[in-house]
Structure 1
Amino acid sequence: MPEASAAPQHDVAPDVMHDVVIVGGGPVGLLLACLLAQRGRDVAVLERRTERSGRSRAIGIHPPGLRALGRVGLEAEARASGVEIRDGRVTCEGRVLGSMSFARAGSVWSLPQLETEAMLERRLADLAPGALAPGVEVRGLRDLGTHVQVTGDRGGETVTVLARYVVGADGVRSGIRDLVGIGWASKPGRAHYVMGDTRDDTGEPSTALLHFEPAGVVESFPLPGGRRRWVAWVRRPPREAVASQLATIVASRVEGRFDPEAAGEPSVFEARQHLAERMHRGRVALAGDAAHEISPIGGQGMNLGWLDALLLDRELEHAIESGAPYEAFERYDRTRRASAARAIRQAAFNMRMGAPAAGARLRVRNAAVRTLAVPPLRAVLARAFTMRWL
């Protein structure tokens, strides 16, 4: 694990009744754990991995996400570690279709997820030393009415943990969601992309560049350290992405230069969208990607999960204090599923706009982008891009 791995590991004591056990030590699970620890709650985080992947993942911290980090005292560190994206521009075949400033809606900050997780992990170690238990794969849950029994495997040894409430923050392939029998409904929006990071040669270190090209969208975003992330739509994903392939795709569509010599290992991914049929069952709730899979185009997933964590923190506190978990989780379910549904619709729209287009369809799409990029719709678009409405 990164720097925070020096923190003491949780002993996963079977005779301790925790207030909350969180399954999944990604950015959502860690933020929720920090929020609960600040309230003085006994929280344990069970994480299957023993070290974090260095592969390029989420980078965008939107204004609501920045405020969420501020709730655990990390806003200043996120700003200092990240790079500010102050504006965006949309082009097609070298012509500017529209531009927007985020001055009023609030800037987006770019910080690789690995660094964000390390920051949250260090904060959790300060608030609740030993709360994070790496290397534990949860295999079973038993909701006993008054509490939940969690069983897992740690290096071949069976571990048992007791908690008043359990939160599944274990990603799109959530084992917790399956264990409690919550359905996973497919939603519109699916596409393939190649993504990679390299040196920023655009000369625009604070601008998001969206190239809505006839052959498919190419997006690029600033990263800390003078680097830039490139994401390109592809009809068929290559079996194994290499930097030279992504450089060829970028060069064939836009003037921007992706330098393969300065690039890390690219990744290929399929953007898909799903929504859990409900976000809780009994004393178990879902949060983040375990509850909703959102296309990463637009960078909404991690921030949406953080907003889940903010509300779930309040509802868990109410449930622990009042002893009425079901009413609290029903409010959480209604509010957060509605937000996730809006985010899914927005992401599906983004994917449609970035798909290949030609002839009349290309002209109509470009006209629509130009319309959205003028007042007053430009302000609405900026609010949507920065997630102010979720």
Structure 2
Amino acid sequence: MPGNKPVLIIGAGPVGLVAAAALVREGIPVLVLEAGPTISTEMRASTFHAPTLDMLDDLGAAPEMIRQGLKGPILQYRQRDHSLIAEFDFGILADVTRHPFRLQCEQFKLTRILHDLLQTRPGYAIRFNAQVTDAIDHGDHVEAVLEDGTRIQGSYIIGADGARSAVRKSAGIEFEGFTWPERFLVLSTEFDFASIIPGLADVSYYADPEEWFFLLRVPGVWRAMFPVAAEVPDEETETDEFARARFARILAGRDDYPLKHRTLYRVHQRVASTFRKGRLLLAGDAAHINNPLGGMGLNGGVHDAVNLVEKLARVIRGEADEAVLDRYDRQRRGVTVEHVQRQTIQNKKNLEAKTPEEQADFRNRMAEAASDPAKAHAYLMGMSMMNSLKRAAEIE
């Protein structure tokens, strides 16, 4: 190993800590540089797909996640009047995964679980209040420059520092794509929607040409997501009146759900022009961002980290040439563009279909897939991101 310098991981979010756990398991030292004063407590993403859980199980994190989370075995698509378009049971994937369900578990729980596991393992170090402003590739080693001028050397840098990644910017890598004109509003409430909507699944998407939405149960609360038109001022979305009006559209005559949490954010579809530049490597939101319909962003980031570490560990141990890192770029960037971006864009188009013909096409496609076990299995292989992993493995 080159001078026993640690791999520098920028960002202690789920992707950064998955990369850290995977490297430490390989016997490779890491230093995680986190801008914040502690592990983040933000709710943010909360959906974990079956293959992601398999990977996290290999790292020792899945059992505690399952204990703290909520299994969602059923996925539903509904119309605004609550009539069922289609229902899928993830149990049908038991032949290809150890975890045939979606797990609803806020991402801050995963980061804490991983951090706790790593603190007992040699080779793991983390530094808080360490805002990285520059990442430099010196050819035979790297250097991270902190906001206070401190310079830290390492063997490689993994930029897991989010959509505004300093690592990506330092490397001069373009972040190609677009921003949706509407924003997404997430409202959380302790009210149990299943008590007033018969047969409601823990993961339910509502198609509507005027205002689609989805309902997602996580431990203790339901999260409801709505699109917000570009012309609506941010300040208006922050009012209780606006929240009540959104809630009122879920079920006629009800708007009195207690509001526990509210988040408004802009939604992007962007992919870095490359995931590797020399010894500077990107993963997670630093490499790609997409709309949250389908829960593919965080999961794709975990898949990046696991794929990257498998290759990087071999390079560091001298078992493979650095060129194998280009395969990481080809595989993960390839499936991000080919599968994740395309699927998340299509998910949004399905829910907001405007014409009667488009709406009927979506209903018919979903109903047909749900009615046939083989087609249901194929559909969930895509939704759970297993197909994207299979495709990545095929890319040389």
One of 24, 32, 35 as aligned partner of 1:45? 32
Match of 2:307 in 1: 311
Greater displacement, 124-133 / 159-168: 124-133
Do the aligned residues in 2 keep the contact of 1:18 with 1:164 (CA within 8 Å)?
yes
| Aligned pairs for 1:281-300 within 5 A | 281-300=277-296
Do the aligned residues in 2 keep the contact of 1:17 with 1:162 (CA within 8 Å)?
no
Match of 1:223 in 2: 218
Q: CA offset at residue 238 of structure 1?
A: 4.5
Match of 2:96 in 1: none
Deviation readout 1:121-168 (Å, 9 max, x if unpaired)? 212222247611111111223212111122112xxx421111111110
| Aligned pairs for 1:68-217 within 5 A | 68-92=55-79, 93-105=81-93, 106-128=100-122, 131-153=125-147, 157-186=148-177, 191-199=182-190, 200-203=192-195, 207-217=202-212
Do the aligned residues in 1 keep the contact of 2:39 with 2:112 (CA within 8 Å)?
no
Name the amino acid aligned to 1:351: K
Do the aligned residues in 2 keep the contact of 1:243 with 1:264 (CA within 8 Å)?
no
Do the aligned residues in 1 keep the contact of 2:85 with 2:363 (CA within 8 Å)?
yes
Name the amino acid aligned to 2:316: I
Q: CA offset at residue 215 of structure 1?
A: 1.5
Q: CA offset at residue 212 of structure 1?
A: 0.6
- Using a 3 Å threshold, how does the CA distance of structure 1 residues 329 and 32 change in structure 2: closer, same or farther? same
Partner of 2:215, secondary structure, is strand
Name the amino acid aligned to 2:283: A
Q: State the superposition RMSD in angstroms.
A: 2.3
Q: CA offset at residue 72 of structure 1?
A: 1.4
Tell me the distance in 1 between the aligned counterparts of 2:115 and 2:137: 28
Partner of 2:59, secondary structure, is coil
Name the amino acid aligned to 2:290: I
Q: Which runs of no fewer than 5 residues in structure 2 stay unpaired?
A: 94-99, 389-396
Q: CA offset at residue 270 of structure 1?
A: 2.2
Tell me the distance in 1 between the aligned counterparts of 2:322 and 2:250: 52
Q: Is residue 274 of structure 1 aligned with residue 295 of structure 2?
A: no
Tell me the distance in 2 between the aligned counterparts of 1:53 and 1:21: 19
Partner of 1:264, secondary structure, is strand
Q: CA offset at residue 365 of structure 1?
A: 3.5
User: Scaled by the length of structure 2, what TM-score is found?
Assistant: 0.86
- Using a 3 Å threshold, how does the CA distance of structure 1 residues 305 and 124 change in structure 2: closer, same or farther? same
- Using a 3 Å threshold, how does the CA distance of structure 1 residues 259 and 27 change in structure 2: closer, same or farther? farther
Do the aligned residues in 1 keep the contact of 2:20 with 2:124 (CA within 8 Å)?
no
Tell me the distance in 2 between the aligned counterparts of 1:39 and 1:100: 38
Greater displacement, 63-72 / 275-284: 63-72
| Aligned pairs for 1:11-30 within 5 A | 18-30=5-17
Tell me the distance in 2 between the aligned counterparts of 1:191 and 1:368: 26
Name the amino acid aligned to 1:345: R
Q: CA offset at residue 250 of structure 1?
A: 3.1
Q: Which runs of no fewer than 5 residues in structure 1 stay unpaired?
A: 1-15
Equivalenced residue count is: 370
- Using a 3 Å threshold, how does the CA distance of structure 1 residues 52 and 239 change in structure 2: closer, same or farther? farther
Tell me the distance in 2 between the aligned counterparts of 1:256 and 1:296: 29
Percent of pairs identical after alignment? 25
Q: CA offset at residue 382 of structure 1?
A: 1.8
One of 365, 385, 389 as aligned partner of 2:387? 389
Name the amino acid aligned to 1:305: G
- Using a 3 Å threshold, how does the CA distance of structure 1 residues 113 and 243 change in structure 2: closer, same or farther? farther
Tell me the distance in 1 between the aligned counterparts of 2:155 and 2:114: 24
Match of 1:10 in 2: none
Do the aligned residues in 2 keep the contact of 1:189 with 1:351 (CA within 8 Å)?
no
Q: CA offset at residue 362 of structure 1?
A: 3.2
- Using a 3 Å threshold, how does the CA distance of structure 1 residues 73 and 243 change in structure 2: closer, same or farther? farther
Partner of 1:197, secondary structure, is strand
Name the amino acid aligned to 1:224: P
